[in-house]
Amino acid sequence: MPIIQLNHVSKDYRLGTLTSLKDSVRNTVRRLRGQPVKKRAPFRALDDMDFSIEQGEVVGIIGNNGAGKSTLLKLLAKVTTPTAGRVAVNGKVAPLIEVGAGLVPDLTGRENVFLNATILGITRADIAARFDEIVAFSELESFIDTPIKRYSSGMKIRLAFAIATSVEAEILIIDEVLAVGDLAFQRKCFERMEDLIKGRGNTVLIVSHNIRQIERMCSRVLLLERGQVVADGLPLEVADLFYRRSNEKISAEHKKSLEGKVHKYSSGEIELVSVDLLDEQGEATDSIPSGGTLRVRVRFQVNKPLQKPEIVVGTHTTDFFYLSASSTALIEDRPDLDVGVHEVEYIVPSFPLVAGTYCVRFAVFDQHQRKVFTGETLKIFTVLPTSLEILDAPMRRLYLPTRWRINGVAHNSPMPVPAQAATT
Amino acid sequence: MLKIARNLYEYRELVAELTRKDITVRYKQAYLGIAWAVMRPLALMLIFTLVKSFVGIDSGTIPYPILTFAALMPWVFFQDATAEGIESVVKNSALVRKIYFPREIFPLTAVTTKLVEFGISAFILAGLMVWYQMMPTAHILWVPVIILYTLLVSLTIALMGAAINVSYRDVGAALPILLSLLMYASPVIYPLQLVRDKLLVQQAAGEWSDLLYTIYTLNPLAGIIDSFQNVVLRGLPPDFSSMLPGMVLTAILLPLSYRYFKWEEAYFADVI
């Protein structure tokens, strides 16, 4: 029998402010008369969620802000009830939804340990038995009889974390509590969490924006989007899907913000017709895989014949940092351009940049280096992440093929599958 | 009802711990500490005694100060407990939003906390009784029952009020005012005996007199205060005839109020 079961669960919140007492009275009168009632638009935080979790699973929940993660946890912790459907939880839940809810500033650390632990459902005898351990973990031995309103915020959080993680429960719900305190304490918290998760066979639900952490700790990951479970499966796969979706969202936003930001100058001798990105088959596209071929085709109309003009094609980031540029000035026998439409292709066999949004620039100079045409943000394109993006080091700009030798033994890092092949 | 009792038993440690918290926090940084708890009934007693010297209220054989103090004890307990109970859920909104336990624990805790102040007032009352050389009789054993009944009356208003207060804070502001008005409709400044004499004996309102008296005693506090004075000061058993209308009213309203609270409870975290 699953320990947690959700049957077509939906949760609506009403948007806007609460109705005033006047409106409520008016609505009641209308309802009594059988007239239609003015209603506020509901916001669907969870939409027909249906899944179950077995005893002992460690489930990560990921999703963008507003995807419904916190609402889901609140439902499981019984803090709120669903609008439709049924939530069945067969076990004691320890919600570490927000450490420190219920700390009372006027009470001393000691009094707060007892109060907060009781609120979390630990019996008095248990707290007494674990009191020293809690205090030792929070490193507050000399401050335990001081009212916690005189604590620093770090001290408060340490105390709260120590209390919260001493709860014994079948189901543990953790909402981004790991990022507390200084680095040393964070590591300690992390170890404590791992101990709670791995050691005891508890069922654990973790919500975090730290995808790597989720990937490392969980046996299963749910990806939420607009209140729905859009993916449910192995951590690596779901995390990768999430990563790719966020990337798409970011580039869509970038594109939107860059539209109309085309910087163009023309002497009138040249008019731009089109700038396209081409894939391997020569079809127009908007994205290329990491390390894939970058092929840019520029078409332009020449109004006055140009002798041996210099053509420059390059790329830049969305904040106009110039990344690459190549010029035909290096080519001795470059052609003269007569009046008419011409086509130039610029091909980089392996474009060595990590996933992200980039732009194309294009310029033409005459043989005396006079500027005939320049343009930026002429085409916006995306470099897609690879399927193993999630495992790679986070801080980097370049995508370079690598080889490793560890203790003299060659290790080939698996060549990541280009994302297009992995797309479902 | 069984479920309520089981819930309460299961969460008894939490109620105890929250009560302890409320009391500690209230008097933590005050020099006189819990002594403040008895200031209000004492001050009111002095004022009423002063007023009485101008107006003249027949207090029977009992000295007026101790009679009015014995009325103020259950009254202040009721008023404070109810007001506190109404605010209790909103006051704990941080907990409501994060952690689940049966929400009636909030009003219940708020109401029980006030028992402490009541207990301290009891010492003052004992002191006054020594001063006026009054001996309590065995009827004083009724006090816990009367107080338990007062507590239920208080909960009746507090449960409903607390639930409404989550959506409409007006309740938290308005009810204390209404309650302080209710004091004048309760036999605090004057003994119930005066009302009884006027309406039942002299039939002051003609044929309406008996009905008016029943309406007056629909206020549970009328019976409570009179019975408290009976068992502590007069050495008499509680007067059940004056308690009955209020008891019936409470017996009807308490389950309704509780049900309303439980029904609204599901939305507390969403709207608080």
In DSSP notation, B110-151 reads HHHHHHHHHHHHHHHHHHHHHHTT----GGGGGHHHHHHHHH
For residue A367, the one-letter residue type is Q
The chain-wide mean pLDDT, for chain A, equals 83
Give the closest-approach CA distance of A102 to chain B in angstroms: 6
**Is B269 in contact with B240 (CB distance < 8 Å)?**
no
DSSP, collapsed to helix, strand or coil, labels residue A206 as strand
> What is the rounded CA–CA span in Å between residue A335 and residue A342?
11
d(CA B252, CA B192): 24
Q: pTM of the full predicted structure?
A: 0.75
Query: How would you classify the pairing of strands A58-63 and A203-207?
Result: parallel
**Residues of chain A that touch chain B, judged by Cβ-Cβ distance less than 8 Å:** 13, 18, 21, 74, 77-81, 93, 95, 97-98, 101-102, 104, 106-107, 111, 114-115, 118-121, 123-124, 147
Q: CB of B23 within 8 Å of any CB in chain A?
A: no
Distance CA A368, CA A329 (A): 11
Question: Which residue from A minimizes the CA distance to B166?
Answer: A18
Q: State the DSSP H helix or E strand holding residue A337, giving kind and residue range, or none if neither.
A: none
Least confident of A8-17, A56-65, B179-188, B252-261: A8-17
Among A88-102, A125-139, A201-215, A378-392, name the most confident range: A125-139
CB contact under 8 A, A80 and B101: no
Dump pLDDT digits (tens) for B41-88. 888 899 988 888 888 787 778 899 999 999 999 999 999 999 999 999
Which chain A residue has the Cα nearest residue B92? A102
DSSP state, B35? G
> A264: helix, coil or strand?
strand
Whether ipTM tops 0.90, in short, is: no
Residues 90-119 of B with CB under 8 A from A: 94-101
pLDDT at A21 exceeding the cut of 70:
no
pLDDT of residue A369 exceeding 70: yes
pLDDT of residue A417: 52
Which amino acid is located at B196 in the chain? R
pLDDT at A413 over 80: no
Question: Given B21, B25, B270, which is nearest A80 (Cβ)?
Answer: B270
Looking at residue A421, its pLDDT comes to 41
Q: CA of B23, closest CA in chain A: separation in Å?
A: 11
Within 8 A by CB and 6+ apart from B127, the residues are none
Contact A294, A348 (CB under 8 A): yes
Q: What is the pLDDT of residues B213-264, one digit of tens each?
A: 999 999 999 999 999 999 999 999 999 989 999 999 999 999 999 999 999 8
pLDDT digits (tens, 9 = 90+) for B172-195: 888 888 988 999 999 998 999 989
Per-residue model confidence (pLDDT) at position B94:
82
Report the C-alpha gap between B222 and B190 in whole angstroms.
11
Please tell me the distance from the alpha carbon of residue B185 to that of residue B165, in angstroms, as a whole number. 25
Map residue A418 onto helix, strand or coil: coil
Decide which of A285 and A177 is more confident.
A285
Contact A102 B13 (CB under 8 A): no
In angstroms, how far is CA A332 from the centroid of its own chain?
Answer: 49
Q: What is the mean pLDDT of residues A294-322?
A: 90
Q: What are the Cα distances from residue B263, in Å, to A95, B155, B160, B257, B259?
A: 23, 16, 11, 10, 6
- B266: chain A residues, CB-CB within 8 Å: 80-81
Does residue A256 surpass a pLDDT of 90? no
Model confidence at A321: pLDDT above 80: yes
- pLDDT (mean) for A352-368: 88
Residue in B with minimal Cα distance to A102: B95
What pLDDT shows up at residue A422? 39
Residues with Cβ < 8 Å from A413, sequence gap 6 or more?
Answer: A402, A403, A404
Percentage of the residues of chain B whose pLDDT score is greater than 90 = 44
Q: Is the pLDDT of residue A396 over 50?
A: yes
